[in-house]
Homo-oligomer: A and B are copies of this chain.
Amino acid sequence: MATNPWAAHPLVRNLENVAPLTDASKKALAELAMQVVHVEADREVLREGDRATQCCVVLEGFMINYKVTKKGERQILAYHLPGDIPDLQSLHLAVLDSSLGTVTPCKLGFVPHKDLWEICAREPDVGRACWRWTLIMASIYREWVTNVGQREAPARIGHLLCEIVVRMETMGLAEGRNCPLPLTQTELADATGMSTVHVNRTLQELRNAGIISWKDKTLSILDWGRLKRIGEFDPGYLHLREREEVA
């Protein structure tokens, strides 16, 4: 399978991680017609309230899903890596309930809903993978509610860092415990519901304890065991290794 040319396509690679796909499905996914657009860093791509008729596939770069409160505070809801379809739910929920933006410069592919409906109907395993992917996202949201609702600062930051590293590794974007982390402390703050000042001080604690290092947009986990413990991180909610166990 890995020798197939389609396997290199980020979308194929991502959905294959979610559920097994037939060769026909992989081919069809890789050959989906996309309108490719390059977007610079820190741009809003879709806004809460917009009505979608197409989906956005991340081909290169790092995106975020977020809401803005009445008081102007931003809550980041998810990070999206290449291969993700951040607005896949718009297939069924046409009106967006959150916004989508770039963190780094991104290469995006837009696919009409119609084409996605067709491929889901023609290749049932693609439909299954898509549904399953949205369910995994829901599971991640549940974990985030818990993170923000119950854990204190070091655990919140620790948990988030663990999640990012694991997801990066799954997509082959991280080696060992080193991983690109093109985020600002402000973005970490908006994801964990903390002030930037507090994030800064919490990161210093983790650094001074020799648990992480983070410079030049690269995060290194120096003591994975301790970070996991501090962040109460158990990767079960990512549902990574259940593929073969499900019908």
> Does chain B have a CB within 8 A of A31?
no
Are B69 and A150 in contact (CB-based, < 8 A)?
Answer: yes
> Does chain B have a CB within 8 A of A139?
yes
A167 to B6, CA, bound (A): 44
> Does chain B have a CB within 8 A of A34?
no
Chain A interface residue count: which class? 35 or more
Are B151 and A148 in contact (CB-based, < 8 A)?
Answer: no
> Does chain B have a CB within 8 A of A177?
no
A245 to B94, CA, bound (A): 8
Are B75 and A132 in contact (CB-based, < 8 A)?
Answer: no
- The stretch from A36-44, A208-216, A231-239 touching chain B is A231-239
Taken together, the copies of this chain in the complex come to 2
Partner of A89, one of B65, B70, B139: B139
Q: Given A69-B150, A150-B193, A193-B150, verify A93-B132 contact (CB < 8 Å).
A: yes
Within residues 191 to 247 of chain A, which ones have a CB less than 8 A from any CB in chain B? Answer: 192-193, 232, 236-237, 239, 242, 245-247
A239 to B52, CA, bound (A): 14
A74 to B149, CA, bound (A): 9
A20 to chain B, nearest CB (A): 13
Are B113 and A247 in contact (CB-based, < 8 A)?
Answer: yes
